[in-house]
A and B are shown apart, each in its own frame.
Chain A
Amino acid sequence: NAGVTQTPKFQVLKTGQSMTLQCAQDMNHNSMYWYRQDPGMGLRLIYYSASEGTTDKGEVPNGYNVSRLNKREFSLRLESAAPSQTSVYFCASSPDQTSGIKETQYFGPGTRLLVL
């Protein structure tokens, strides 16, 4: 049982390049999330998918797109990378976003992205 996996672990891009961050979970969770973590700031939600076939914007969606490929996989795409997108990106999953008061999220190990 691997939990939440993310690829790649590290990536260096030049401004304007594109890339896709991959995330997969094997816990049969309905909901998946993408966050970014910057120094001195809390994790900020980029996009989330409450269930297979749905995606919604979070707090900081500009410059990103997502695809919920199936129940297991949720990818994050940077179409034209900018230095401001240098960050650590975390994927997370949970049984059901709205299932209520006891639910926690399970996090992947993160992808460290540097945009030059």
Chain B
Amino acid sequence: KQEVTQIPAALSVPEGENLVLNCSFTDSAIYNLQWFRQDPGKGLTSLLLIQSSQREQTSGRLNASLDKSSGRSTLYIAASQPGDSATYLCAVKPLDYKLSFGAGTTVTVRA
């Protein structure tokens, strides 16, 4: 069974600092890995999707890397802003197509 772990569970940084969020998974047989953002009381919004054949994906200030062989992904958010405060979840799509989610990292960016 695929297990997805996100450490740390919570993170607080001052505005302007770069954020580094980690995700690890136990089974490297995946189609893709996604990072989602969840605001309090809201649903999930997809931020980045990395295919299993890719090493990284970028969108604006966000960059996600994938090392499938070691079962790790990292989400980098450059020059953090208070608006980046949210919970970030990673999810892998294994070969049975059913997403497996981590519990998330809750980020607070202090102004």
Contacts and interface: CB of A to CB of B under 8 A. Distances in A.
Interface string A4-47: 10000000000000000000000000000000000011111100
B42 interface: yes
Contacts, number: 54
13 contacts: A40-B9, A42-B103, A43-B89, A45-B99, A58-B98, A98-B97, A101-B31, A101-B52, A104-B34, A107-B43, A107-B44, A108-B43, A110-B43
A100 B102 CA distance: 21
Contacts of A108: 43
B51 A102 contact: yes
A37 B14 CA distance: 29
Contacts of B42: 109-110
Q: Is the interface of A mostly helix, strand, loop or mixed?
A: loop
Nearest to A110: B43
A105 interface: yes
Contacts of A107: 43-45
Interface of A: 4, 40-45, 48, 58-59, 90, 92, 97-98, 100-102, 104-110
A48 B93 CA distance: 15
A103 B80 CA distance: 28
Nearest to B31: A101
A41 B97 CA distance: 20
Interface in B46-81: 46, 49, 51-53
B49 A100 contact: no
A109 B42 CA distance: 5
Contacts of A40: 9, 103
